[in-house]
Structure 1
Amino acid sequence: MRLKPDTSGSVVYKPFNEADDFTDGWWDDAIYGFEPTQRFYSFFVGQHEVARVEIEVQDVLNSEYDQPAHPGPYAVIHFFEVSEDHRRKGYGTKSVHLIADRYKAMPLVAFSEGADDFWGSLGWARHEHKTEPDHSRPMYVSEPR
């Protein structure tokens, strides 16, 4: 499995190539746009794209959540998706490990939309919204490598 862009530091900008097995609208500039601080990566096995991620390095996290013990900066995962054809085969976990290698010494952060089992299976700490834990996405934070 390999990550693009490679370690040269090149940036892949949205939009990604259209693909039927990724969620429409998640990877489209026309809807979300992007900031120069955001980075986009694709993960490939052979010629097949198996996952995508959008990450932004931030010094602080949303203060409405319980805060992790480790101070920033943090690599915040805004979007992460494994293609439909490649789900439940370990590619998500492998992709997250490649990102963790890229952002060494920096905790990774993800806000879960129904993927609590996945983020929890990585051993990441769950942090709840302080005032609306039942109506907000939980925040998951890794330990820095």
Structure 2
Amino acid sequence: MVLDVLRLRAIVLGGRVRQPPFRDHVGFTDHWWGHTVRTDHDWLSLRSDDTEVARAKIMPGSHVGEYYGAIAPPQGWTEIDRLEVRGDLRLRGVGRAAVQAIAAEYPSTRLAALSEDADGFWSSLSWAAHRHRIDGPAYRTLFLSD
């Protein structure tokens, strides 16, 4: 499965976000996509046959790994801050295809992801798992691509 990537932008007027990048949240976790919007993130709609099948919030130049004992490359990681496959399409290979599409969009950087209860998924990609220096349930596992 090959996915197309559509980059979205928030509409900002007078220094305030007036329209978040994603309007429709059907099939997706509403509070991930419609509330806190930062304009320094990249917002991706991953599509198959012009239908949104996944979405992602990307943070280029992230140095998140420093808290996990991982040394960031000079340009930082491209952090997948959020990745969600539409609810009715989960466990069908869409997540893997989405990560491949994201990697193709950012070819010159390594990818990082903080797992949101998806350690099995990120491990299945053969990404290296890193625990926070202060191990505990409050800290998500960091996964780094090769």
- Report the TM range for the smaller structure's normalisation: 0.7 to 0.9
- Is the Cα contact below 8 Å between 1:126 and 1:139 reproduced in 2? yes
SS of residue matched to 1:25: helix
Q: Which residue of 2 aligns with 1:116?
A: 119
| Cα pair distance change 1:69/1:53, threshold 3 Å | closer
Work out the CA distance in 1 between the residues paired with 2:62 and 2:84.
24
Counting aligned pairs with the same residue, the percent is 32
Deviations 1:80-125 (A, max 9, x none): 1000011111111001001101111311111011100100111110
- Is the Cα contact below 8 Å between 2:65 and 2:142 reproduced in 1? no
Work out the CA distance in 2 between the residues paired with 1:131 and 1:66.
11
Q: Which residue of 1 aligns with 2:90?
A: 87
Deviation at 1:23, TM superposition (A): 0.4
Find out whether 1:12 has 2:15 as its counterpart: no
Find out whether 1:25 has 2:31 as its counterpart: yes
The letter of the residue matching 1:25 is: H
- Is the Cα contact below 8 Å between 1:39 and 1:55 reproduced in 2? yes
- Is the Cα contact below 8 Å between 1:119 and 1:140 reproduced in 2? yes
Larger % of strand: which? 2
Q: How many residues align?
A: 135
Unaligned runs of 5+ in 1: 6-10
Unaligned runs of 5+ in 2: 11-19
Deviation at 1:130, TM superposition (A): 0.7
- Is the Cα contact below 8 Å between 2:115 and 2:140 reproduced in 1? yes
SS of residue matched to 1:123: coil
SS of residue matched to 2:123: helix
Greater shift, 79-88 or 53-62, is seen at 53-62
SS of residue matched to 1:63: helix
Deviations 1:66-85 (A, max 9, x none): 20575542101111100001
